[in-house]
Amino acid sequence: MRIAVVALGKIGLPLAVQFAASGHDVIGVDVNPTTVDSVNAAQEPFPGEAHLQERLEELVPAGRLRATTDYAEAIPGADAVVLVAPVFVNDETWEPDFQWMDMATRSLSEHLTPGTLVSYETTLPVGTTRNRWKPMLEEGSGLKEGTDFHVVYSPERVLTGRVFEDLRKYPKLIGALSDEGTRRAREFYEAVLQFDERPDLPRPNGVWDLGTTEASEMAKLAETTYRDVNIGLANQFGLFAAANGIDVYKVIEACNSQPYSHIHRPGIAVGGHCIPVYPRLYLSTDPDADIVRTARQLNASMPERLVAQAETVLGSLQGLTAVVLGAAYRGGVKETAFSGVFPTVEALQSRGAQVFVHDPMYTDDELRALGFEPYAWGGQVDVAVLQTDHGEYRVVSPAQLPGVKLLVDGRAATDAQRWVGTPRIVVGTAA
């Protein structure tokens, strides 16, 4: 097949590589010329995705994969077009911001030719594919969906850093606007993906048809919103446990020994492109989902709550030196999207602390570019807040933080034995 992939980001480019590696001719479209040049030079434009570089080196010189900024070069005559342009959420209103996907869809529609399958993989509010993208594609192309072309919604379900592994591991969900669209979508994804055997699943791993675009859209929102709500519940339990002298981790371990309990762990922040964002996309079409809203608000409040606990222990943070350990949103990943580092630094600074940030995955210049003052081990510190569970922080000790009067462990990642004699607040346990 001839396949076009729109938006060559951390999901789109690995998808394009996956399709090409499955024996198809793939052209990627991106508005960033630097990204396009990198792909055409067989150089990964971003680090950290397992096997991406080696596959680019194989596929680009062989002519199976190339990139362009020109929709007119990529879209006409494509058997399938997959869109992975971003959809953002307004931080204040929690309303979805479709501007990038709108631009991609309009540009695609201007060059759409009969016979093409159009698949949206970006996470969307329920009803967006049918009510927003279908009319936009028909208006821009003059073609009719269901007759001249077909539209399917098939959410990406992968984590950056392990995209190729996850593509094999999880069922590929589809929901089309017509029976013919369903048939075409199944044939397409069965031709570009390979699946691991999963005896734990209720049916064979592979392409799973959910019947409608709305069901497929909701499935992606539901599986990610579940995690945010679960973490919110764990944080609620952790706050209560800490206030009552209870170790919430022993409680959670005990609960999860029973097969119907799957309580997550509390933490200082929920970050990344997905979990903090998708509950708000869900709320945009289900405003009565109070449990979702409450969990999102509680999780967002955790940095402020933990810094307030530190202030209670130390009396005041005014004039103190603080270091936040970890800029990344999760351990082992060089990504700061919606990272808890930002509200944690803000909460410390609002109380008069001088704040530095340490992260082993970032250079000092990269931290400065993010707006932070970098910290090096051995600098004088009054209070440290562990925000990211990098492996390096699991063995951190007071000797590396001279003068430290308090550690706030927002991930329950540090070794208590290394901190004997130094006050330590661990999220979910009594101070």
> pLDDT, tens digit, for every residue of 229-255?
999 999 999 999 999 999 999 999 999
| Average pLDDT of the segment spanning 14-38 | 98
Residues 6+ apart with CB under 8 A from 251: 237, 241
**pLDDT, position 273:** 86
pLDDT at 375 over 90: yes
R_g over Cα of the chain: 24
pLDDT of residue 143: 98
Three-state DSSP class for 219? Answer: helix
Which is catalytic among the residues 10, 134, 220, 255?
A: 220
Q: Is the dihedral of CA 417, 382, 265, 332 positive or negative?
A: negative
Whether residue 220 is predicted with pLDDT greater than 80 in this model: the reply is: yes
From the candidates 169, 274, 334, 405, which is the catalytic residue?
Answer: 274
Q: Is the pLDDT of residue 195 over 70?
A: yes
From the number of C-beta atoms within 10 Å of its C-beta (0-12, 13-18, 19+), residue 112 rates as buried
User: pLDDT at residue 135 above 70?
Assistant: yes
Q: Residue 426 and residue 287: Cα distance in Å, rounded?
A: 34
pLDDT at residue 422 is higher than 90: yes
Residue 407 φ then ψ, to 5°: -110, 130
CA dihedral 241, 244, 247, 252 (to 10 degrees): -30
Mean pLDDT computed over 211-228: 97
Q: Per-residue pLDDT tens for 260-279?
A: 999 999 999 999 989 999 99
Q: pLDDT tens digits, residue range 166-184?
A: 999 999 999 999 999 999 9
Rounded to an integer, what distance in angstroms lies between the CA atom of residue 431 and that of residue 68? 56
The whole-number average pLDDT for the span 417-423 is: 95
236 token code pair: 């609620």
- Per-residue model confidence (pLDDT) at position 1: 97
Beta pairing class for 88-89 and 96-97 = antiparallel
- Considering only CA atoms, which of 64, 53, 51, 63 is closest in space to residue 21? 64
CATH number of 295-426: 3.40.50.720
Average pLDDT score, the chain: 96
- pLDDT for 11 equals 96
What integer pLDDT is reported at residue 283 of this predicted model?
Answer: 96
220 has catalytic annotation:
yes
Q: Are strands 354-358 and 383-386 parallel, antiparallel or unpaired?
A: unpaired
CATH architecture of 2-211: 3-Layer(aba) Sandwich (3.40)
Tell me whether domains 2-211 and 295-426 share a fold: yes
Write out pLDDT tens, residues 295-319: 999 999 999 999 999 999 999 999 9
- By percentage, how much of the chain surpasses pLDDT 70? 100
Smallest CA-to-CA distance from 51 within 188, 205, 158 is with 158
Query: What is residue 431's predicted lDDT score, i.e. its pLDDT?
Result: 62
pLDDT at 160: 86
Is residue 397 classed as helix, strand or coil in its secondary structure?
Answer: coil
Task: Put residue 427 in one of left, alpha, beta given phi > 0 → left and psi -120 to 50 → alpha.
Answer: beta
| pLDDT on residue 47 | 85
Please report, for the chain, the start and end positions of each structural domain, with discontinuous segments joined by +: 2-211, 295-426
Task: Give the pTM.
Answer: 0.92
Quickly state the pLDDT bin for 48 (edges 50, 70, 90).
Answer: confident
255 catalytic residue (yes or no): no
Asked if pLDDT for residue 56 goes beyond 90, the answer is yes
